[in-house]
């Protein structure tokens, strides 16, 4: 019984960690993403049946790949696919088999990302397609993130996959001349994957686990392939700064630690140094963009590792620049938080009111109320502060953050 | 993969085919393009130039009755003037060749994969 459970756990872990790699390899030659995804889910189902009896294979990823490939070839035969396509499948299988003998599956994820970002694909489908095929995010979850009806999102994804297959869009990483048209969509999808994973600090959601690591891997691969794109470097620098602090986001008791309370000795110094070096290289390219600005903000916070206070005036200026490039309610809120440190709580409360007028959606956002509560408490408006803490607590799901907010509220007499 | 490069030309381009002052430049550009496709190995030798839309006749059978209309199927500013069949590894390669077609800077060039038979 425990064998069955551990085999199931192994299959689930491989499903999470290897999903994008398997899909990209299975579809590389046929370009048929839908068929690759179907074959892979059948292979996972087979693993759940077989592994508990036989014990898990030595190379589970290779086992799943071989099983999925057999399903693909069977499927092609059943559908009496044109001979040319069967031929392509058989060739792909041979090639990959040869590569497989070198132990690890070749990684084609970055090429698949560029395929999904092709200008021949509907613009609104590019990022969702990347999130689904490479990161295995479900259509429902993508629909929720993009504020689209699930049925409409599924349709959009199906159409885009058909187009990749039928138009013959390549899975190779394109020539540098083609990057400007596509790289932004690739960067945005990687960023979206990271934020989706980051918001689950407690790791309570299995579907999100692994998204940040995968996004970090993709950002590394992208920066290695496009070392002259300042934003690719900025994106990697941003992730490294955030990942460097992951060990400090919770204390030993699992309690939430806001940035200014984190124990800096827990920060990964090597990653911070790497991020700083990347930002310098990006700055030398003289093409500022949102990812570099976000990384620069994290860099300003990282001064605390030397015992220096963060430069709040600089942070506020970075947020102002970020808002000018890509306005968003979250950037606006963070600007207010930085201004609270450099300009004082009263000025920040005025800015916060303006932000809420501009982005009414902020009223549904926990950090908006938490910031308001802190600012009210600092101006001595204690009743207003307590009311704002209540609003914040009502909008939070993470128990560790709720506990932190309650503790903060209790300190307002 | 085989792709059709479908060349949609403007009325001006069709007119240049018979214009004494411009026809050499017009036909010269297409011969050079066809030769380039062949030399590079993507050309299949298949393709055709089409007479202008005024030479087109469209037929439909509805309820068993034949209807014949003079002119092309769709009355648009740019009309199919010819096509090339190429064999290219993927869409990007096909688009790179389509971009070099003389009509790309004036009319439109559509790239469409052939059905695999």
* pLDDT score of A140: 85
Planar angle of CA A337, A341, A345, nearest 5 degrees = 80
Tokens 């092709």 label which residue?
A118
A168/B91 touch (CB, cutoff 8 Å), yes or no: yes
Q: Which residues pair with B4 in a beta bridge?
A: B85, B112
* pLDDT score of A12: 79
B90/A172 touch (CB, cutoff 8 Å), yes or no: yes
* pLDDT score of A97: 63
Q: Please tell me the distance from the alpha carbon of residue A393 to that of residue A406, in angstroms, as a whole number.
A: 8
Cβ of residue A172 closer than 8 Å to a chain B Cβ: yes
Contact list in B for residue A82 (CB cut-off 8 A) is 116-117
Alpha-carbon distance B103 to nearest alpha carbon in chain A (angstroms): 20
Q: Please tell me the distance from the alpha carbon of residue A295 to that of residue A301, in angstroms, as a whole number.
A: 10
Q: Which residue has the higher pLDDT, A83 or B15?
A: B15
Q: Cβ distance A156 to A128 under 8 Å?
A: yes
Q: How is residue A118 written in tokens?
A: 């092709």
* pLDDT score of A108: 87
* pLDDT score of A397: 85
Helix spans in A55-102 (H): 60-78, 83-100
pLDDT bucket at A353, cuts 50 / 70 / 90: very high
Contact list in B for residue A166 (CB cut-off 8 A) is 113
* pLDDT score of A193: 87
Alpha-carbon distance A21 to nearest alpha carbon in chain B (angstroms): 21
pLDDT bucket at A1, cuts 50 / 70 / 90: very low
Top mean-pLDDT range of A50-54, A193-197, A376-380: A376-380
pLDDT 10s digits, A46-102: 998 998 888 888 888 889 999 999 998 888 777 766 666 667 667 766 666 665 554
The answer, yes or no, to whether residue A185 has pLDDT greater than 80, is yes
Cβ of residue A118 closer than 8 Å to a chain B Cβ: yes
Tokens 């004494």 label which residue?
B20
* Number of other CB atoms surrounding residue A314 within 10 Å: 16
* Number of other CB atoms surrounding residue B32 within 10 Å: 12
* pLDDT score of A85: 67
pLDDT 10s digits, B56-102: 999 999 999 999 999 898 889 999 999 999 999 999 999 999 999 99
* pLDDT score of A83: 63
* pLDDT score of A203: 54
Across the range A293-303, mean pLDDT stands at 95
Cβ of residue B96 closer than 8 Å to a chain A Cβ: no
Cα atoms in the Cβ-side hemisphere of radius 13 Å centred on A265: 1
Across the range A123-140, mean pLDDT stands at 88
pLDDT 10s digits, A308-345: 888 899 999 999 999 999 888 889 999 999 999 999 99
Q: How is residue B84 written in tokens?
A: 């090339």
SS3 B59: strand
A169/B90 touch (CB, cutoff 8 Å), yes or no: yes
Q: Please tell me the distance from the alpha carbon of residue A67 to that of residue A58, in angstroms, as a whole number.
A: 14
A345 Cβ neighbours under 8 A, 6+ residues apart: A374, A375, A378, A379
pLDDT bucket at A142, cuts 50 / 70 / 90: confident
Q: Name which of A82, A84, A170 is nearest B90 (Cβ-Cβ).
A: A170
B116/A85 touch (CB, cutoff 8 Å), yes or no: yes
Cβ of residue B25 closer than 8 Å to a chain A Cβ: no
Contact list in A for residue B87 (CB cut-off 8 A) is none
**A41 to A47, A81, A160, B52: CA distances (angstroms):** 10, 21, 20, 53
pLDDT bucket at A411, cuts 50 / 70 / 90: very high
B113/A167 touch (CB, cutoff 8 Å), yes or no: yes
Q: Name which of B91, B113, B116 is nearest A170 (Cβ-Cβ).
A: B91
Across the range A357-370, mean pLDDT stands at 92
Across the range A359-367, mean pLDDT stands at 90
pLDDT 10s digits, A228-272: 999 999 999 999 999 999 989 888 888 888 888 899 999 999 999
Q: How is residue A169 written in tokens?
A: 């869009």
The answer, yes or no, to whether residue A204 has pLDDT greater than 60, is no
Across the range A177-199, mean pLDDT stands at 87
The answer, yes or no, to whether residue B22 has pLDDT greater than 70, is yes
B94/A82 touch (CB, cutoff 8 Å), yes or no: no
The answer, yes or no, to whether residue B48 has pLDDT greater than 50, is yes
Planar angle of CA A289, A294, A295, nearest 5 degrees = 100
Query: How does DSSP assign A5-62, residue by residue?
Result: HHHHHHHHHHHHHHHHHHHHHHHTTT--HHHHHHHHHHHHHHHHHHHHHH---SSHHH
Cβ of residue A167 closer than 8 Å to a chain B Cβ: yes
CA dihedral of A147, A152, A158, A161, whole degrees rounded to 10: -40
* Number of other CB atoms surrounding residue A79 within 10 Å: 11
B114 Cβ neighbours under 8 A, 6+ residues apart: B1, B2, B3, B4, B85
Q: If you measure CA to CA, which chain B residue comes closest to A84?
A: B116
Residues 46-85 of A with CB under 8 A from B: 82, 84-85
Which helix H or strand E contains A119, and what residues bound it?
A: none
Binning chain A into helix, strand and coil, the percentages to the nearest 5 are 75, 0, 25
A169/B3 touch (CB, cutoff 8 Å), yes or no: no
- Altogether, the residues listed in chain B come to a count of 117
Q: Name which of B89, B91, B93 is nearest A167 (Cβ-Cβ).
A: B91
pLDDT bucket at A137, cuts 50 / 70 / 90: confident
């Amino acid at each position: 019984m425990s064998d069955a459970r551990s085999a199931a756990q192994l299959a689930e872990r491989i499903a999470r960690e290897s999903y994008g790699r398997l899909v990209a390899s299975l579809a590389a030659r046929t370009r048929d993403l839908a068929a690759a995804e179907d074959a892979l889910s059948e292979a996972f189902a087979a693993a759940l049946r077989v592994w508990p009896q036989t014990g898990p294979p030595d190379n589970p990823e290779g086992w799943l790949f071989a099983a999925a490939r057999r399903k693909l070839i069977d499927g092609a035969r059943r559908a009496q696919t044109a001979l040319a396509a069967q031929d392509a499948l058989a060739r792909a299988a041979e090639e990959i088999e040869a590569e497989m003998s070198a132990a690890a599956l070749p990684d084609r994820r970055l090429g698949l990302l560029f395929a999904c970002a092709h200008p021949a694909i509907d613009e609104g489908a590019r990022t969702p397609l990347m999130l689904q095929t490479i990161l295995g995010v479900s259509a429902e979850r993508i629909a929720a993130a993009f504020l689209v009806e699930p049925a409409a999102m599924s349709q959009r994804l199906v159409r885009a996959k058909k187009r990749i297959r039928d138009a013959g869009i390549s899975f190779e990483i394109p020539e540098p001349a083609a990057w400007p048209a596509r790289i932004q969509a690739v960067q945005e999808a990687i960023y979206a994957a990271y934020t989706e994973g980051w918001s689950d600090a407690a790791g309570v959601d299995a579907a999100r686990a692994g998204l940040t690591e995968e996004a970090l891997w993709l950002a590394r691969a992208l920066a290695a392939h496009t070392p002259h794109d300042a934003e690719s470097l900025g994106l990697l620098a941003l992730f490294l700064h955030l990942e460097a602090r992951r060990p400090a986001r919770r204390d030993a008791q699992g309690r939430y630690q806001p940035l200014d309370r984190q124990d800096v000795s827990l920060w990964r110094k090597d990653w911070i140094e790497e991020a700083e070096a990347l930002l310098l290289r990006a700055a030398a390219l003289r093409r500022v963009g949102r990812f570099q600005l976000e990384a620069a903000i994290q860099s300003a916070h990282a001064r605390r590792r030397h015992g220096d206070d963060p430069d709040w005036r600089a942070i506020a200026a970075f947020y102002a620049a970020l808002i000018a490039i890509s306005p968003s309610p979250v950037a606006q809120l963070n600007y207010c938080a930085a201004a609270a440190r450099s300009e004082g709580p009263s000025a920040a409360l005025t800015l916060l009111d303006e932000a809420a007028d501009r982005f009414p959606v902020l009223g549904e956002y926990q950090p908006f109320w938490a910031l308001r509560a802190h600012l009210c408490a600092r101006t001595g408006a204690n009743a207003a502060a307590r009311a704002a803490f209540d609003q914040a607590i009502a909008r939070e799901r993470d128990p560790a953050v709720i506990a932190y907010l309650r503790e903060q509220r209790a300190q307002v007499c | 993969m085989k792709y059709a490069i479908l060349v949609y030309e403007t009325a001006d381009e069709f007119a240049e085919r018979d214009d004494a002052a411009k026809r050499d430049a017009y036909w010269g550009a297409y011969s050079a393009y066809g030769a380039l496709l062949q030399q590079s190995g993507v050309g299949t030798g298949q393709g055709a130039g089409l007479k202008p839309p005024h030479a087109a006749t469209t037929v439909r059978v509805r309820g068993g009755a034949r209807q014949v209309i003079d002119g092309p199927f769709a009355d648009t500013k740019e009309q199919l003037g010819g096509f090339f069949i190429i064999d290219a590894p993927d869409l990007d390669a096909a688009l790179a060749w389509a971009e070099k077609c003389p009509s790309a800077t004036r009319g439109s060039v559509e790239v469409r994969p052939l059905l695999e038979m």
